Amino acid sequence: MAAVSPAPATSRLLLSGNEAVARAVWEAGCRVAAAYPGTPSTEMLEVISTYPDIYSEWSVNEKVSLEVAIGAAFAGSRSFCCMKHVGMNVASDALMTLTLTGVAGGLVIAIADDVGLSSSQNEQDSRYWGRFAHLPVFEPSDSQEAYEMTKAGFDFSEKFQVPVILRMTTRINHVKGLVTVGERVAHAAAGFKKEPARWVMTPAGAGKRIPLMFERDKVLRAEAEASPLNIIDNGRDKRVGFVASGPAWMHVRETFPDAPVLKLGFSCPVPIEKIRAFAATVDKLVVVEEVEPLVETELKAAGIECLGKEILPRQGELAPNVLKPAIAKLLGEPVPEGITAPAQVFPRPPTMCVACPHLGVYYTLAQIKNITISGDIGCYTLGAGHPWNALDTTISMGASMGIALGLDKGRGETDKDKRIVAVIGDSTFLHMGMQGLLDMVYNGGNVTVLLLDNRAVGMTGGQSNPGTGRDIHGQEAPRVDFAKLVESLGVKKERIHVLDPYQLPVLFKTIRDEIKIPEVSVIITDQPCVLIDDYKKQKPYEVIDDKCTGCGNCVDVGCPAIHVTRREKVIKPSGKEVELQFVRIETTACTGCTLCVQPCAPEAIVHADLTKPMRLVRH
């Protein structure tokens, strides 16, 4: 991703929320930035990495990234860390002690919530971390505010020696808007000052810091009450007033332009008295927040009458089509017709890329019976879908290892003959899977692990990791040898196999043989993601129509370059009805991986004649 070029003061640039944050991090004089890629937060660090004034890194996981940022802040430098919402679950161990130590240099932690579950396994609300860790939370509602609040966050962090959480959502991260920007202002590092009573959190030291944290809470609440980030827009229609933050404020403003609204930019601690005074100016107060009723609960506890999740859903974005009928019912007005009907769009189920090295793995697993497959987070999670249906569990990053061991140890009579397989990607294995494999070996698990090394963090855009041999800038870096790594974790050398996932017979035989061995084995597939430079395309294939028998074996591979052109139902001599699927291959998309060629019994798939005119096919 190209950097946002330095521009003269007060220049205006079209930036996404992620790009605006990155620009602000650079302008604020930040010296160190770290992250682990995760949608919708990824682009923040990608843009930051293009600024030579900032040390930036893809860390092995979110906990490490936060610890790197903490260390820089301890050294008196301004530092930045970003992650998606589930990433803070991983980093929270460091966060919950950081709240006691505080920081020396300014530290801003951007957390991107995936409201609406665009690309996540849950829809958690990161505003809870402000309450849990006693930290201030800033919530921008557009790119301009994301830029301004990031810069303000560094100043606030240094002034009160406390990290600041910048709570973003997908709607802010990825939507672009015009942003007025400035120039970088350098901040010299003050240097690390030894202060064991503050930085060394033993029980005795931590106990003395807790009262200081409570005193800081009072200061932060007073700051929230007076903060210019909390803005009242006095509307004309006083029947309903709204308290909202982030993109929910934008939805309220769009839906009810004449209503009074209190926008919370500094949302934690909640400015209770400011809201109490605002509530007195309207007939009814409605709290619009995505997704949990945090502010609503605190207001009701403070004796402020309000409505919230009684009339609004607790999941998804609170867009105008949600707000209009809810408020109409509240006011006893007719519900606008058609407003709640979802938009009709052409169905587009998620699938893997053409020639993805994971296709052969799931095609093979789908052919093997009597196995339970523990999955993980990444492109390969799509193995749960059609046509493979070859994934039985997916919980969190790295969980495939521990869950597989639990499936093994917890098996009952009905499962005693089942084989347990765990599937995990290279980046996910390095992120949080290594510990699980170590535990599996140490405790005598009977699991076959498929470690799918495609040399990229594929799901989030092909970023680098310690297994790719490149750093965030594309420069050469040490590359992990996965075979040696898993051997060092205790897997026997004879139980480690490195193979080409495009060689289906070898893949099938290896998996079939290893699941019979009653101990831990690891099969490492070693072919690059088709979307990165390491992948080399081969000559494409096409289908000879006259030879195709409609067996559908190639369709079962799941490659999106293969299209079913005709279906026919026939009765076999046994009397069983089967459906034949006649296909063609989108030659312009095919990369020549041979996955569809190998299961084709009639040998109807051959190299395409690229000298013939391209045939136009109507879908």
81 is in an annotated binding site: no
The radius of gyration of the chain from alpha carbons, rounded to an integer in Å, stands at 28
Residue 95 vs residues 80, 367, 413, 429: alpha-carbon distances, Å:
13, 45, 43, 23
> Do residues 601 and 580 touch, judged by C-beta distance below 8 A?
no
Q: Amino acid identity of 241?
A: G
* The dihedral sign for the CA sequence 442, 447, 450, 456: negative
In 3D space, the residue among 115, 151, 150, 157 whose CA is nearest the CA of residue 136 turns out to be 157
Query: Rounded CA gap, 528 and 425, in Å?
Result: 12
82 is in an annotated binding site: no
Query: Rounded CA gap, 299 and 309, in Å?
Result: 13
Query: Rounded CA gap, 188 and 197, in Å?
Result: 25
> Do residues 516 and 523 touch, judged by C-beta distance below 8 A?
no
CA 604 and chain centroid, separation: 41
Query: Rounded CA gap, 322 and 22, in Å?
Result: 32
Q: If DSSP codes are grouped into helix, strand and coil, which group holds residue 375?
A: coil
353 is in an annotated binding site: no
Q: What angle do CA 6, 11, 16 make, to 5 degrees?
A: 75
Residue 601 makes CB contacts below 8 A (sequence gap 6+) with: 549, 551, 553
Q: If DSSP codes are grouped into helix, strand and coil, which group holds residue 346?
A: coil
Query: Rounded CA gap, 575 and 570, in Å?
Result: 9
Residue 152 sits at φ, ψ, to 5 deg, of: -65, -35
> Do residues 537 and 610 touch, judged by C-beta distance below 8 A?
no
Query: Rounded CA gap, 44 and 83, in Å?
Result: 9
As given in the structure block, the two tokens for residue 22 are: 């990155």
In 3D space, the residue among 354, 440, 365, 366 whose CA is nearest the CA of residue 402 turns out to be 440
* Strands 176-181 and 230-233, bridge-based pairing: unpaired
Residue 480 makes CB contacts below 8 A (sequence gap 6+) with: 430, 466, 467
596 is in an annotated binding site: yes
Q: What is the DSSP string of 502-558?
A: T-HHHHHHHHHHHTTSSS-EEEEEE---TTSTT------EEE-TTT-----HHHHHT
Q: What angle do CA 380, 383, 385 make, to 5 degrees?
A: 135
> Do residues 411 and 421 touch, judged by C-beta distance below 8 A?
no
Output the known binding site: 548, 551, 554, 559, 590, 593, 596, 600
Output the known binding site for [4Fe-4S] cluster: 548, 551, 554, 559, 590, 593, 596, 600
